[in-house]
Amino acid sequence: MSEKGYSFPQSKSWYQRLSDDLASEVEAYTGEKRSTIEEMRRLLALKGCYQLFDHMQAARQGKKRDEALKSVARVMRAYALERPALFAATFRTANRDSPEWREAVERIGSLMTSIFAECGVYGEAAEQAQRLLRCIVRGFVLHEVMDYFLDPVSYEESYEKAILVFITGLPALAYHDERAPDRVRTAA
């Protein structure tokens, strides 16, 4: 998966792409039909977590701080565009909670926590930063896929600017977290 230059075919509807993605995953991963919708949801959520984690870990490799965060944010967007249903299933918890899913989500969280720590963001602020980043990715991808931007010069350029603004704002999150190490609060 490429971090940049992803072009998504606009010929299919969003719902058709989601359906195609889900159907191909169930068939490819199990070789059979699953007996319940709930079982399929759990399977897809778990598979999405594993795939996303692998992509994120590869994107982070050899990078530190802001560069690691930019790289991971890019790959999250690329994964969401390539595998919209799996990306959506990855972070929906209500019906897919299982020990395996919880462990897979914690692996993603640990990876992100380590990157945010390199950026000086710890504890609750790091958790908040993870939620904010997921919102940015989801919102941006939704607007991009549904072609909601009125006059985008470049989706890529707009996303890069959104991530830059996010990274630039991280010190504000760290400063306002009472549980952050003193060196972070005094540095801001």
How far apart are the C-alpha atoms of 163 and 132, rounded to whole Å? 11
Rounded to a whole number of angstroms, the CA Rg of the chain reads 17
Residue 59 CB contacts under 8 Å (≥ 6 apart), including other chains: 3, 68, 71, 72, 74, 75
pLDDT score of 53: 93
> What number is the average pLDDT over the span 48-65?
93
Q: Which CATH number fits domain 14-187: 3.40.1710.10, 1.10.357.10, 2.40.400.10, 2.60.40.10?
A: 1.10.357.10
Overall pTM surpassing 0.95 (yes/no): no
Q: pLDDT, tens digit, for every residue of 94-122?
A: 445 677 878 888 899 999 999 999 999 99
Whether the predicted pLDDT of 75 surpasses 70: yes
Provide the Cα torsion 81, 85, 90, 92; round to 10°. Answer: 120
Domain ranges of the chain: 14-187
Q: Please report, as a single letter, which amino acid is at residue 55.
A: H
Whether the predicted pLDDT of 15 surpasses 90: no
pLDDT band for position 8 (50/70/90)?
A: very low
